[in-house]
Structure formats: structure tokens, C-alpha cells
A and B are shown apart, each in its own frame.
Chain A
Amino acid sequence: MSGIKRPGLAKDPGSESTPGMDPFADTLQRLREAFISGRTRPAEFRATQLKGLSCFLRENKQLLQEALAQDLHKAAFHSDISELIICQNEVDLALRNLCTWMKDEPVAKNLITQLDSTFIRREPFGLVLILSPWNYPLNLSLVPLVGALAAGNCVVLKPSEISKNTGKVLAKVLPRYLDQSCFAVVLGGPEETGQLLEHEFDYIFFTGTPRVGKIVMAAAAKHLTPVTLELGGKNPCYVDDNCDPQTVANRVAFFRCFNAGQTCVAPDYVLCSPEMQARLVPALQNAITRFYGDDPQSSPNLGRIISQKHFQRLRGLLSCGRVVIGGQSDESDLYIAPTVLVDVQETDPVMQEEIFGPILPIVNVRSLGQAIDFINRREKPLALYAFSNNSQVMNQMLDRTSSGNFVGNEGFTYMSLTSLPFGGVGKSGMGRYHGKFSFDTFSHHRACLLSHSGLEVLKNIRYPPYSDYTQKLFTWAMGSHLCTLL
């Protein structure tokens, strides 16, 4: 039960861990002790860490671009706009607002607390674990890190082993810019992650698949560790009959093919009428040719699939429905062509899992209502896209569905808006971050009420014994119309 000494705090000489058995015990102990010392709490320390992050980004830009190119065949421009600049913006935002965010938040008082000081104090949780994925390995490691550091925590970052070049840079170079007593990068695969998860953390931030999300949450449950899980799903993209096909095709193709489709918020599949499909397909071809040329494989602007395993998985999906655009693949290059599939059934494999590749299935529906039903029959997605000139259609879609985020007539540019919380719902995740939401996510919101010893006479009414008179007075004073004051 509760009350017993926290493990890892009181050193018990009789239970030293055997070296090699648990590679993380020492690191975690060190970080925990650093947190207990209070080092990470002052604003100056946190600002120094954030500035260190900023320097890391600026001084290693080329190194990072190269690593991202090696991992995902990312063009420098794409690395800039989807990773480096986003991280820089978040660091700058946090630095600019740190003191404001750290301030105690006064709250409204009621009748009985009028003379008290009432506020919410944001405090660090302690030791935070960030598990990041391979598709935007820098962004999805550093943006949460900004929030965790700004909130005053000590952090263990475990980047994905699949994006190994970026992982190496994070492990070798990043710690030089931060206080290493309060920050550590840990490398490894599923086995190491499992070992890590056996330890107790004060917060776990995970970005990845729902399957692993469940494992993380179950592990967190053993220690009652709160979690944020940024997961995924199949993001539907509804295209209404009332729209300009070329404009829609531009936006859908661009966001589908960005990073070779390996984006958790990419439009996963299209829902539209057969009539719309007939106009959309040539428009999509148009857009793809315009963006990537006649031979997309030679375009420097198209990414590659991260690994053989994912390549094989995606190649298997190419046989679903009928290919109307693309369909080519090259194993030696881990290249999958921008592909559009039609005549796709709900039961096809391509409609069973998150695609995470440059393949866009089109599923026909005969009406908005049918599209909404289709979407609601499935798990709540991370993002939901709707294209239409008709605001009524937009509102209906918005009102009758649920998703992590909703976008009308656009792709995922909203990800650059730090004023919008980013997170999923249902199987697509829990919790949120970006901007101030990151700071709040990595903080415990501690309710504080500071009263004083004087004016005890005002509090007398609450003490027993309750005479008839007191009871009547109490009941009258707390009459229902006055309850809001309480």
C-alpha cells in the first residue's frame, strides 16, 4: 500500500544491481537524484537547456539533414519545413514564454474562500521518458523534449532504432548541449524498450502505433505513471462533389506523398462518389506528375520507405483493388511510386491497417451520410479531412464524427500551429501537446489554497455540534441559489 519509501530513493546496500543485468538502472538513478536535488526547477536552468537545444539545431543543421536523408531519403527542404524549423519554432516559443507559463495561475474564489490565496501551481513530474518513432525522428523527439525540459523535468529520450542515423546524432551530439546529469539518450530496440519500461517513470510520452501504445500503457499502469500516447489510424479524406478537383488533388497528393506517406496525419484513404472519382483521378495524376515528374523515382522530392519490412508490407497492398496511378516499386531502392487504387472494398487489406506509404485508395460512397456512417463504423482517426465548397457539408462532417483533429479543405499545415493542441482520441491516442500544451502536459497542476489563522470566527459555522439554529443558518446560507457561490 502507500506510504512506503519510494523505490530507487533510499539506497539499500544489500540490493546493488548486477552490472549488465539492467543497463539503465544507473542512468535512471543519476537522473532521479538530479531531479530530487532541485536542479531542474529554476527558470534559468530550464532556459539554459532550451538554449542548448537551440544551439544544437543551429550548429548541426547539415549533420541532421544528412542523417534524415540517409534514414528517409528526405530532401533538405523537406527536412527543414517538417522537422528543423518546427523544432526551432517550439524552442523559441518556449524560451519566449517560459516565465509566463511557469507563473502560478490564480483561480476564481467562492464565498468561503474570498480571503484566501487560490492558484494552480504547475510543477515538473520528475523523471520523464520520451519514446519517439522513426518517421519524423527529429521533430517527434525534440518537440516533446522542449515541453518536458521547459516544465522542469529530467528526461530520458529513446529514439527509434529504425531511423538509426538520426538516432546516432541524437545520442552522440545532443547530450553535449544539455546538462547530462538531467538528460540522457538511450538507444535500443524493442527488447531495450521493454527493459526500460519496467522502471518507474513519472511520465511517459509515446509516439507510435496503437499496438505498442497498449503495451506502454499497461507497463505504465504497474507504476501508475500518467501517459500521453500519440498513436495513429486511418485518416479519412472525404471529397465532396461540390469542389474543384484539381485543387483538391493538389492538396491531397502533396500531403499523401510527403515523406513517402509516412506521416501519422496523412490522408490515408479517400471517400467520394464515383462521379467525383472520375474527375479526381486524372487531377491526381496531374498533380503527381507536376510534383515529381514523369519518373517520380528520380525526383529528389520524393522520400523512400524506411525499411525492407515496411517496403514488403506496402508492396503487398499494391495488389488491392485496381491500380490507376503508379503501382511501381523498386526493392533495391525501397521505392514505392505514388499510387492511387480504385475499386477498393472495405474488407481489403489496404483498408484494414494504417497505410503509412504513398498509396491512396479511393472508396466510393453515394452520399455524405454514407461517408459519415463509414467513418463512424471505424476507430476514431487521428485526423479527418473533408474537402467541399459547401460549409453545410463541412459542418455536418464536423458535428457527426469524432477524430483527433479536423481539417477542412487542406492537409496537415495545422501541425505548424502551436496554438492548436495535437493529439488523438480513442484508438488514435490520449493526451496532447505542441506549444503551451506541451508545457501543461509535462506539468502536474497542483491545486493550492493558502488560508490564514485569523478570522477563525468565520469558520466556526462548520464545526460541530450543530445546533438547530446553526443547521438552519447553514442550510439557508447554502440554499441552492447560493450554491454556485460555494
Chain B
Amino acid sequence: MEREVQRVRAAFGSGRSRPLTFRRRQLEALRAMVQEREKDILAAIGADLSKSEFNAYSQEVISVLGEIDLMLEKLPEWAAAKPAQRNLLTMLDEAYIQPEPLGVVLIIGAWNYPFVLTIQPLIGAIAAGNAVIIKPSEVSENTAKLLAKLLPQYLDQDLYAVVNGGVEETTELLKQRFDHILYTGNTAVGKIVMQAAAKHLTPVTLELGGKSPCFVDRDCDLDVACRRIAWGKFMNCGQTCIAPDYVLCEPSLQDQIVRKVQEAVKEFYGENVKESPDYERIVNLRHFKRIQSLLEGQKIAFGGEMDEATRYIAPTVLTDVDPDTKVMQEEIFGPILPIVPVKNADEAIQFINEREKPLAFYVFSHNSKLIKRMIDGTSSGGVTGNDVIMHFMLSSLPFGGVGSSGMGAYHGKHSFDTFSHQRPCLLKTLKREGANQLRYPPNSQSKVDWAKFFLLKQFNRGKLGLLLLTLLGVLAAVLIKGGYY
């Protein structure tokens, strides 16, 4: 493991990954890989999550292609130095911020969207000029194996390496030193990653999870709300970090929500959900059993059917859920939608705030004031109003958590920035040392007063003003030196 990381680090040290042309070529190669090997990729994802080709394409591959194209388009702009506003002391100097690669980045992927959650960060890391070690989740083993096979065929083999393995290998990997670690997964392992990173003072981006609440207001289009909630909840069989985890609503709405969600489920997956090619399965037996246990003692409004052999769990809705029961204690990550009745929006806000900050918050209402109040009154990684999931789809929005749902963000430019060091640079000339006399000791009181005058002045006059002030500065220096003050 150590040798692998050393090898990648040495490759980064050669400077090869820095020129923009190199980065472009790698991104283009990645795009070629996705397009040429599409069938293999879709098949691997399909094998891991019982996902149809179309779903795998629309949920994962499209985002990847979009992200690559965005990076290619914006790379020159994002990698360019940005001039910074100067003050009086520095007005004749060059001041700017230069983005630079960090070095060797570790990306630890997740199993629920095994392709996009590994490749989208990779795109950002490459674009920022880094070398990368990719550790796909071992739980989605088909995708993991495929990535190990494909990436070296298309990308520079010394700069980008895939390391596969389970807990033991990941622990070994985390002992090595990286310049940034991006981890997608659960809170418990997030802490372990951050603790390992602390030993090397490695900055981290942790994309974790939580229970994303979904408040449904009395005053909303319930048909539309329930369709959208059903879509976001049951996509990927509920195994989505930003799926609406549970619904909060007034008791009078419960029955209607149940009915409308049930209608939506029928519309999406047909009478016999098990036969729908668009409905996925639980990734493995461990999670299947975990989700199964969440149903104990619950009032099942509809659904609840299970088949261990195929790891099938039917879209299920629970009503009158007690907040102290197991299903409300952990992120469900399955096709079970509890409805927790609350008196009103204020009680919903209180309910949400008593819990860990979630990755996403959803609210359905026609009343924009209410939406605003609920957003203002809560905190979460992101928010989508009157829909679900969508804030993930816009790469100009930073995607990340807060509190126990994570730290840092990525997507689009946020990826580029995450994987860069924004280095401030100040370039002065060695000439005009005369103007510096003011600051050197010994200090007379007049020197002090002049110096403070210059330090305090902000720069909002035009260029002429700047020139005038420089001259004033030089004049002051000359006068003081000459003993006139």
C-alpha cells in the first residue's frame, strides 16, 4: 500500500499532472472510457444494484459526462490566476490568487451510486492537477472490479491508481499520507477517516448522511408532492443519501399522502412492483436484514412485502410513526417511508432541530413565506423546495453536508476548488526602496502618524488617486529622512 502511494506521489512530483493540456487529455480519455465502455459500466452497476441499464445511465453516467464536459469547458478559466484588490501599501505590486494542485488525493467511493460517487470526485481532482488514488466501495464489487480494470487502460497509470479491498485494506490505506481525502459514506466511518487524516494534517471532505426530513404543508399540491416524494424515495430502492428519509405532516394529511404515494408507486412500477425493470434491489443481505428490522412494531399503511432470496423490499409507507422507534433512529437507506405526524410547521422545525443536521431538507408548500421560515429555522447540507433530490443535479450548487452530515462540498467548480490550494501571491519590485523608509525603525512619532495614515486608507479612489498617494508616500519618506519632520 505504502509503495503504491509512494509511486503515485513520485509521479506527481514529476510535475506531469500540472499542465492544462495534460489535464484535458486525461479528462478526454475518461470521457472516451465512459462512452466506449458504456455497456460494461451499465452492466456492472446493474449487477451490483439490480438496476436497469436506463436507470444506471440516467442516474450515474449522465452526471459523469456532464461533469467532464463542464470541466473541459471551464478549466482555463478556473485554473487562471485571479487578481486581488490591493491597498495603499501594496498598490504598485502584483497581487493575485493562483490555484494549484494539492498533490495526492484519496477518493473513497460509496456503493449506492458506485460509479458517479467515485468518478465525479475523480474528475475534479484531475482537473485541479492532482494525482489520485481511488478506492471504490467493496460492497459494489462489480463496479469496483471494473474500475480497477478500465481506469488504467484509459488514464495515466502512474498518476491515477485504483486500490480495491475491504475494511483492512482501507485502514492500511488511511495510514498513508495524502494531501486531501474525499470520503462518501456513513457518519461512523467518517469520524475514522477524519481521525486518520488528523495524524497527517490532511484536509478532508466528508460526504456523509443522516435522516433527510420532508415537510408536507397542508397548503400544497398534494398530488404533485406525493409523486415527487415517491420518485425520490424509491429511486435506487431508497439507497440514496439525499432521499427524503421521512415525512412530517399534520395528522389530517396522512391518509391522503398514503393514498397518493401508493398511486404514484403503481404508476411508476405497475401492479406488481417486483416485476418492474425500473425497481432496484437492496445491495446485500446485511442491509436487507437491517431494513427488515426497522419494520418491527410499525403500522404498515401499504407495502411491507419482502423476498430475502432476491433482496426485494416493496415500497412501504408507515403511518403514525413514534419518533423513538428504531426506524427513526438511523438513516433508513431503504424503500420505507415513515410518516411522523406533527401539529404544524413550528413543531416540525423543532422536531428537525432536535436531531442531527441532515444532508438534505425538503418542504412542500404553496406558501413561499412558510418555505422561507422553515429554511431559516433549520439547517441542512442542502435544500430543495417543492421537489426532492434536484439540488444535487445542479453543479453550480455546492453539494455537501453540515454537522454530522458532513463537511466540505463538491460538484462543478466546487470540486475544482476543493482539490486546489488557492495560493495568494504578492510580487513586488526591488526598486523604490525609498518608499519603504517609513516602516523601518528607528521610529519617530511623525513616522508613526504617516504610516498609520497609509495603512488605514482603503483603496476606493481611482488610479489617479493611487498615483497621488504614492507620490505623497515617497514625499513623506524623503521629508522624514531629510529631517524636515
**Residue B7 CB within 8 A of the other chain:** no
Residues of B within 8 A of A144 (CB): none
Residue of A nearest to B89 (CB): A413
A406 touches B197 (CB 8 A): no
A218 touches B198 (CB 8 A): yes
A5 touches B354 (CB 8 A): yes
B328 touches A3 (CB 8 A): yes
Residues of A within 8 A of B (CB): 1-6, 9-10, 36, 38, 41, 75-77, 80-81, 85, 88-89, 107-110, 112-113, 116, 118, 120-121, 123, 125-126, 202, 210, 213-214, 217-218, 220-222, 224, 226, 229, 231, 243-244, 246-248, 250-251, 254, 290-293, 299, 301, 376, 387-389, 394, 398, 400, 402-410, 413-414, 416-422, 425-427, 429-432, 444-454, 456, 459, 462-466, 471, 474-475, 478, 480-481, 483-484, 486
B381 touches A3 (CB 8 A): no
A226 touches B442 (CB 8 A): no
* Assembled-state Cα–Cα distance A408/B428 (Å): 6
Per-residue contact bits, chain B 395-410, to A (CB 8 Å; 1 contact, 0 not) = 1111110111111110
* Assembled-state Cα–Cα distance A3/B212 (Å): 9
**Residue B429 CB within 8 A of the other chain:** yes
Closest 6 CB pairs of A and B: A483-B66, A221-B194, A217-B198, A301-B441, A447-B397, A464-B278
Per-residue contact bits, chain B 327-361, to A (CB 8 Å; 1 contact, 0 not) = 01111000000000000000000000111101000
* Assembled-state Cα–Cα distance A471/B62 (Å): 13
Tell me the smallest distance from the CB of A419 to a CB of chain B, in Å.
4
Residues of B within 8 A of A459 (CB): 228, 387
Q: A3-B328, A449-B397, A465-B268 are in contact. Are A80 and B195 (CB under 8 A)?
A: no
Give the interface size class of chain B: 35 or more
A299 touches B427 (CB 8 A): no
Residues of B within 8 A of A409 (CB): 427-430
B425 touches A113 (CB 8 A): no
* Assembled-state Cα–Cα distance A420/B69 (Å): 30
Segment with Cβ contacts to A, from B120-128, B450-458, B463-471: B450-458
A416 touches B381 (CB 8 A): no
Q: A210-B201, A405-B424, A408-B427 are in contact. Are A465 and B278 (CB under 8 A)?
A: yes
A291 touches B441 (CB 8 A): yes
Q: A247-B433, A405-B423, A449-B394 are in contact. Are A80 and B448 (CB under 8 A)?
A: yes
B394 touches A250 (CB 8 A): no
Which residues of B, 42-95, contact A by the 8 Å Cβ criterion? 52, 54-55, 57-58, 62-63, 65-66, 68-70, 73, 84-87, 89-90, 93, 95
What are 12 A-B pairs at a CB distance below 8 A?
A81-B439, A217-B198, A250-B436, A299-B441, A408-B426, A413-B426, A427-B201, A446-B402, A449-B384, A449-B394, A451-B387, A453-B225
* Assembled-state Cα–Cα distance A452/B408 (Å): 28
Residue of A nearest to B81 (CB): A398
Residues of B within 8 A of A220 (CB): 194, 198
Residues of A within 8 A of B114 (CB): none
Per-residue contact bits, chain B 143-174, to A (CB 8 Å; 1 contact, 0 not) = 00000000000000000000000000000000
A213 touches B448 (CB 8 A): no
Residues of A within 8 A of B269 (CB): 464-465
Residues of A within 8 A of B228 (CB): 459
* Assembled-state Cα–Cα distance A116/B68 (Å): 24
* Assembled-state Cα–Cα distance A414/B423 (Å): 12
B381 touches A447 (CB 8 A): yes
B356 touches A4 (CB 8 A): yes
B69 touches A480 (CB 8 A): yes
Q: A1-B330, A251-B436, A449-B384 are in contact. Are A123 and B379 (CB under 8 A)?
A: yes
Segment with Cβ contacts to A, from B203-211, B247-255, B299-307: B203-211
A463 touches B381 (CB 8 A): no
Tell me the smallest distance from the CB of A82 to a CB of chain B, in Å.
10
**Residue B6 CB within 8 A of the other chain:** no
Considering residues B191, B279, B377, B441, which has the most beta carbons from chain A within 10 angstroms of its beta carbon? Answer: B441
**Residue B185 CB within 8 A of the other chain:** no
Residue from the list A400, A456, A463, A484 in contact with B267, Cβ < 8 A: A463
* Assembled-state Cα–Cα distance A10/B351 (Å): 11
* Assembled-state Cα–Cα distance A89/B87 (Å): 11
